[in-house]
Structure 1
Amino acid sequence: MIKIYHNNRCSKSRCGIALLEESGKEFEVVKYLENIPSEKELKEIIKLLKIAPIELVRKNEKVWKEEFKGKELSDAAIITAMVNNPKLIERPIIINGNKAVIGRPTEKILEII
């Protein structure tokens, strides 16, 4: 089943939900600010996305700028930062089987559904 990591306050995330609804396919919504992914889950997501952990970070978030920007961080430290501050996780993330994309732009979702 398709899974979308969603933040309702994000317009791109809401667009992702709308696109999935229009597709008619079943999907599961994960409100990741409430149900924070574990380090293991984030590692799996990053592997599916085929990106480095830093590429999943929202670098314009206040917490990133104040606590992490300009520091040398290991991949493990970046993942821990996202678990401890889930606002840092880029969204929406859509997973379908062994494929995943960050839905920016929204049309990228079409590549995997």
Structure 2
Amino acid sequence: MIKIYHNPRCSKSRQGLAILEESKKEFSVVKYLNDTLNETELTEIITLLNISPIDLVRKNESIWKEKYKGKELTDSEIIKAMVENPKLIERPIVIHDKKAVIGRPPQKILEIL
């Protein structure tokens, strides 16, 4: 089953959702700002994405700039920051068959469908 981690207020996330709808494949939507991820779930997603935790952070968010920018943080601390502040998580994230992509640009989602 395809899963999209979605923020309805984000235009790129809405575009990613539209790509899934157009694919006519079954998928589930996780509104991760409401259904927050725990550290284990977020770590699993990062592993599937094959990236470092810092690569999933939205570094232009004011929360990041005010609380974390310029600090030496471990991967664990970065994951904890994203769990505590889900707005920091880059979006959308789409997972399908043990593969995952960040839908930026949204067309990247097509790579794993």
TM-score by length of 2: 0.99
C-alpha deviation, 1:97, in angstroms: 1.7
Aligned length: 113
Which runs of no fewer than 5 residues in structure 1 stay unpaired? none
1:61 aligns with 2:61: yes
Residues 60-113 of structure 1, C-alpha deviations (whole Å, 9 max, x = no match) = 000000000000000000000000000000000000021000000011000001
Query: In structure 1, the residue corresponding to 2:21 is in which secondary structure?
Result: helix
C-alpha distance in 2, partners of 1:98/1:2? Answer: 10
Letter in 1 for 2:96: N
Structure 1 runs (4+) deviating above 4 angstroms are none
Counterparts of 1:5-84 in structure 2, within 5 Å, are 5-84=5-84
Give the drift of 1:54.
Answer: 0.1
% identity of equivalent residues: 71
Cα root mean square deviation, aligned: 0.3
1:92-103 equivalent positions in 2, closer than 5 A: 92-103=92-103
